[in-house]
Structure 1
């Protein structure tokens, strides 16, 4: 079903946020009941609790175009910001907090999350991190694992466009996405297993369930996965984006990639081991260097910048809708101006060069991120 713009696949976006004290800039260890209640009342069915008491998620309705997505998230960010401002709380939308006092955080007291913390211990307790998740609808009859295999090579590019977690526990980590470093400590949270089709996916699930490695209703947390709840493929590799337009560009690009790949379904080929190896190498380079990295290009395997890599995607799958054109335009802006990771590092370095104490320099980074979220809220 077309939405009138030439696109055929509906999509949805999930944004995760940390709740921070506006005075100290620190993540709230245990927000008041009033804070949680007001968030729930404000967002209704689109509000979701996350594994920490200090973290919430906004899950969108299904969108037909980026204009609808922009309107929804501009309004939701604006409303949440104003509601939380009355409580002295800010909405922090980057993948890591520069202070990251994870030892002080409290797990959400729900059976599912209690089980998660019991199973994964310190790995779960350290995961005070926020992501951007994008669902794109897939027509009935399409093998979603075969589709994922066709998309796999481009996933690190989406990470490079989103990086926003260069700081952790007061330290410069050396990684543009330290979130993905922490993700590697979890099982089933990296790249998808090499499964050729849906049948193999089901066999893999049953195997893990039979040996006690996965609950009957358990999920994989791969960088991209077939959703169990919806007929979608879900992109999970991306860091949370403080600037709404950056997140929308990534959503638009991913939707365009899915739609164009579906049009070529008669020519799909099994993914080669070589392409998996290259994807894994590009993945590491993306979370280490972000958009400043050098990657292995799709054409002749030559080294390519992030800008060149995006240009390769555009040449192979030219934009055919206004949404796609806008997404490519904004993606080029991200790569030319830098992601949140670059802005955070520049803010920290500038403050320290001016003689600021480390604590105040880190707070300046927090205020920068909060400011970008506010600007996106109108």
Structure 2
């Protein structure tokens, strides 16, 4: 598989928060206008406290990281100019009074048809697009990716605190997101005809209003020649987003290599996949996970090792093996967004500590110069870069 043909792009959704209280700030249109004046194209999301950034298409992880840094810095500045703070968090930690819907015809139509689901949103994810030659390939690749979706969720979980309390889950966003009729893991599709028939049923029944409301966690993109992976919370830091994008990209490449060898993904039982999802949302990286293919209950860090072994040739082709192993070691050591939220909250049971921690993580490493990029230079607990190799050879994922 040629790495040059498997380019990647990333969409990140953010919360706009009041700088004083941390409550959702309903001024995404104003922030977007300021961003446009700075040459940044922000997308408005369903509720007025959300904005979304979109990267260019990339073949280099280092270049992707640099653009993600620039976007977060730029949008944070635009938010500040409009009395808001940019937070990379998957769900507002405070008690929101309400989530006013963004005033566009499409979002108003969603509000009319889905009631409180539209008003209880404020959910922020990260979507990774990987180039694919055609829809049939995208569907077959999606089948290969289904077993790994819970692991991507566990790695990026970043919604532990909700309504000023510990939700009991690393990703409460995922639990809330499942309420939408087309959200969650997709069915196993044998062909594009099967896929199209299912989408047609969802449309005719009113479960969705248009094809962009096919919210499955992996799907052929309705806008680009890509397969789109949508399972993750918005990661706390740029480096974690880049780690997710690289893992997804290499998993897609591995799936395409399997398809070229005539290997079709075996069906995974829906019940097994749901169990793996629930476990990933519950514990994140700090505990056991469920392998959907065989039901094994094993530590998430071991599942991560199995994934890296599985996609190893693709990572070597990309030149990103050292980056991935080092970045995984760093996030397991420092903690993902969920662990950082919980650690901050448990100090004084004060959500303001969580907001401060999230604000720090959102721009962590973003002031670094492009030349400072190192394959495994990831910020650690004191927010400085450190060399995370084990001393000899390639960095190893701690088991």
1:35 to 31, 34, 40: 31
Alpha carbons 1:298, 1:312 under 8 Å: kept:
no
1:53 to 29, 48, 54: 48
Q: Is residue 320 of structure 2 the alignment partner of residue 323 of structure 1?
A: yes
The aligned runs of 1:124-273 (5 Å cut-off) are: 124-140=118-134, 142-215=136-209, 217-265=211-259, 266-273=261-268
Distance 1:253 1:100 in 2: 34
TM-score of the pair, normalised by structure 1 = 0.90
Indicate the larger mover: 298-307 or 200-209. Answer: 298-307
Equivalent residue, structure 2, for 1:341: 338
Gaps of 5+ in 2: 368-399
Deviation at 1:157, TM superposition (A): 0.6
- Take 1:35 and 1:273, find their aligned partners in 2: how far apart are those partners? 43
- Change in CA separation of 1:110 and 1:151 when aligned onto 2, cut-off 3 Å: same
Q: Could you say which residue in structure 1 is the equivalent of 2:365?
A: 376
Deviation at 1:39, TM superposition (A): 2.3
CA distance 1:126–1:213, change in 2 (3 Å): closer
CA contact (8 A) 2:90 2:233 kept: yes
Q: Is the alpha carbon distance of 1:301 and 1:129 closer, same or farther for their aligned partners in structure 2, counting shifts above 3 Å?
A: closer
- Runs (4 or more) in structure 1 with deviation over 6 Å come to none
Q: Check conservation: 1:133, 1:236, Cα contact below 8 A.
A: yes
User: Structure 2 length as normaliser, TM-score?
Assistant: 0.85
Point out which structure has higher relative CO (alpha carbons under 8 A, 6+ apart): 1
Residues 84-140 of structure 1 show CA distances to partners (whole Å, capped at 9, x for unaligned) of 333332111110121040x33311110100011111111221111111111111124
C-alpha deviations, 1:39-72, integer Å up to 9, x for none?
232344x311111112110011111111121111
Q: Partner residue of 1:21?
A: 18
Q: What secondary structure sits across from 1:376 in the alignment? A: coil
Segments of 5+ residues of structure 1 without an aligned counterpart are 353-360
C-alpha distance in structure 2 between counterparts of 1:277 and 1:298, whole Å = 9
In structure 2, the CA distance between the partners of 1:216 and 1:131, relative to structure 1 (3 Å rule), is closer
2:136, 2:206 → 1: CA distance?
30
Number of residue pairs the alignment of both structures matches: 363
